[in-house]
Structure 1
């Protein structure tokens, strides 16, 4: 091909100086066909009249096309890179260079529309619409990183945000996150946009069709909102909440915060959401003002959900749940019970009655032992008291151990002393460990050791109410009490005072 300068000069000589094609070719030392092409084409383009042979790519063009088509239909995490496709095709006998292969691949992709960039439209946010999703962040617990999940919700119109942390993304956490967001916003959005979360979507069909989880359908019918689900790998369809997840990770959890408990962390996150609500502005208006213009459904009641599992109580009075163990009372050993799993608590139910309630534990090989579940059994097996794990883990004040030893010595029997002491421990369920500890200290100072003594003092302190009340200053003056200056008074004087009080009451 000729250079642009030569192309321009040929057209100058022909159209401006009116020279013939032969003269121009002779002057410039080029072929007349080149001169003719330059004159006939206003733009400098080289058109191949005969297609050249492709000695390297020709035999593999169909194979390359097949591999590219197949690769484009694979999930994102299973797609092959160009380098890997090149290596595979080289194993089949391809002799071309990597640049020759990528040149051919780009031509095929352009022809088939593979890797075509997607266009987007700006949308006007609707009042009463919300986007919700989970994100993953890391915190420090006992100097070790721990992964937790944050539920994020953002109103499309007012831009108000809500964030809450959970140990997982299962159904109970998902529903609790939504109901907590409704409480924070003061209403239920009419439309909520979700990703294809497992607690909500059972199966993804073609297009926008979804088979929903039965529990999610119950939840949706309770609040009556419309649900919309994004297409697979279409995070841009809920870009607001995707950006919120990134913001939360970068601004709330970096550098990594020290994790104490979910209660403390969620109080801090809620306070941050309140601060953002007060300071946030969009298009010149505050978030506080814009949220008043949202179109919400009324929030009347709170949906309470618990995931239910069945379990059998083992001989150690324990039920097993998520690789952890929870205690139940002795008389339920060997029975099948229902476990109601809430986000942060566990209830054990037998024939419709709650028989045990625990804080939910996360992790592995942990035990939640309620001492009061084991006291009846310990009373029967008094010799096991000292070695019982539940007693060692209870952490009772030192006065309990001292009173136990003194009670055994007073009764001259270890087993009888232990049984009577266990009866005293049962009182802590009603009167608290601290109150009973004060009574034990008082009785120990007086060398009084028995269950009846402890019970008597507790009843006196909690049930005794003085029947007499102090007289007012006016009544004391009316009774002429100030006239009696001696410390000794006769019985007749007392009788006279009582008579006057009776007359005053009759009036």
Structure 2
């Protein structure tokens, strides 16, 4: 190859000075065809220096053994327990090889480069595909920093995003986020791509078919979309949402978002994403096309987890690490449990009990469900009386305060006096007893009159010798009078 400085002389003499090709060839000692080729060339080839390969006998010796171990690595690794360059170097040293760690690292780089997959640019038609993933984030609801999960659904044709901050990465939040996403887009795409997260996939079978969770399968059937799953351990199969989720976490959640609740912070985050999307005219046009291609939205799917549970003797049930009360008359029976992202509902027939969902380790106890057991346990009633009367509302706090003042400092006696009112409320209803309490407080008689059910069995015949005797009906008010006289 002719040096570049000689090429420059050839082109300058012929093109600038007008020297004939024959004379230039004679002067430089080159053939006329060579001179003619460089003069007529539109692009001058740049000579590349030849790479000098240095002899490396140690590297050549260890390369075969390292390649054999690298190819067989899947037989002794699994999941994230992967073979690293340093561990490969240690294995080679154990087998008697003396190569340096730097040499092994270069070999591993070559192995990985040879196995690297070739990415294929894809084209998405409007309404064809959305990608979904969860991302771990930190938030500060009510000034308390805690870990949360960001659900992201990205429409691949228009690049439109829906994001929702979730308290947990479980099936309940997963289904609720889907319902919220489809409602936000006002339509349903033909297919949604996922990785193999446990909220959707129960098991990966032989040949890579998936066994879906029942509630997720019901969601797919309700909205009639096709779930598509990535290869295990290959997150780049849905690189669009992976890349977008990382961008949202770095650009829109820094500094750490603050707000009254996760819902409020979700609203603010979605507003930022919408504003960013609207600034790109190309995305706006693509969204107009995709919006018209989405399928009509059916009625919202009930994403609550549903199961039948057996209640035990204590009138509460443990759900997701928190205790929730149920009516005491349901103890020992089977009831339906509906677990949502913000509510926990128990149902038996037409009767339902709904609690706000509390955090792990919390309690949501409504003592109005335990009126009859508390009426029979004064000691337990004394411990929870303040919470009980607060849940009832007026005039129950006034009744409890009056009883405490009258029998102070003996609170157990005050609890005994409150117990008949609870029994009457359980039997007759809270509204009817409320009027009776107001009347009792006005007149100072704090002993309720309990209407006992009459027994239907046949009474025994009274002997003739005892027929002239009359037995008076017991009256607790006389006992109160005796106690007041004794205290005076």
What TM-score, normalized to structure 1? 0.65
Aligned to 1:221: 221
Task: Quote how far apart the aligned CAs of 1:357 are.
Answer: 2.0
- d(CA) in 1 for partners of 2:289 and 2:279? 10
- d(CA) in 2 for partners of 1:256 and 1:313? 42
User: 3-state DSSP class of the match of 1:362?
Assistant: coil
CA contact (8 A) 2:372 2:423 kept: no
Task: Quote how far apart the aligned CAs of 1:174 are.
Answer: 1.8
Matches within 5 A, 1:184-263: 184-204=184-204, 209-258=209-258, 260-263=260-263
- d(CA) in 1 for partners of 2:333 and 2:156? 51
- d(CA) in 1 for partners of 2:389 and 2:363? 11
Is 1:69 the counterpart of 2:71 in the alignment? Answer: yes
- d(CA) in 1 for partners of 2:379 and 2:182? 54
CA contact (8 A) 2:215 2:305 kept: no
* Distance verdict in 2 for CA 1:266–1:94, change over 3 Å: same
What are the Cα deviations for residues 376-400 of structure 1, in whole angstroms up to 9, with x where unaligned? Answer: 3223334542212782694777974
Task: Quote how far apart the aligned CAs of 1:213 are.
Answer: 3.6
Aligned to 2:302: 304
Matches within 5 A, 1:390-405: 391=387, 394=390, 400-405=396-401
Aligned to 2:282: 283
Aligned to 2:325: 327
Task: Quote how far apart the aligned CAs of 1:181 are.
Answer: 1.0
* Distance verdict in 2 for CA 1:303–1:387, change over 3 Å: same
Is 1:372 the counterpart of 2:368 in the alignment? Answer: yes
CA contact (8 A) 2:258 2:265 kept: no
Is 1:361 the counterpart of 2:345 in the alignment? Answer: no
What are the Cα deviations for residues 235-260 of structure 1, in whole angstroms up to 9, with x where unaligned? Answer: 33333322332233234432223464
- d(CA) in 2 for partners of 1:289 and 1:202? 37
**C-alpha RMSD of matched pairs (Å):** 4.7
* Distance verdict in 2 for CA 1:159–1:449, change over 3 Å: farther
How many residues were matched structurally?
408
CA contact (8 A) 1:311 1:339 kept: yes
- d(CA) in 2 for partners of 1:162 and 1:103? 43
Q: 1:381 aligned to 366, 377, 383, which one?
A: 377
Task: Quote how far apart the aligned CAs of 1:141 are.
Answer: 5.6
User: 3-state DSSP class of the match of 2:80?
Assistant: helix
What are the Cα deviations for residues 409-441 of structure 1, in whole angstroms up to 9, with x where unaligned? Answer: 8999846741465479879x977xxxx89x96x
User: 3-state DSSP class of the match of 1:137?
Assistant: strand
User: 3-state DSSP class of the match of 1:114?
Assistant: helix
CA contact (8 A) 1:406 1:449 kept: no
* Distance verdict in 2 for CA 1:95–1:332, change over 3 Å: same
Which structure ranks higher in relative contact order (CA pairs < 8 Å, sequence separation ≥ 6)? Answer: 2
What TM-score, normalized to structure 2? 0.67
CA contact (8 A) 1:420 1:450 kept: no
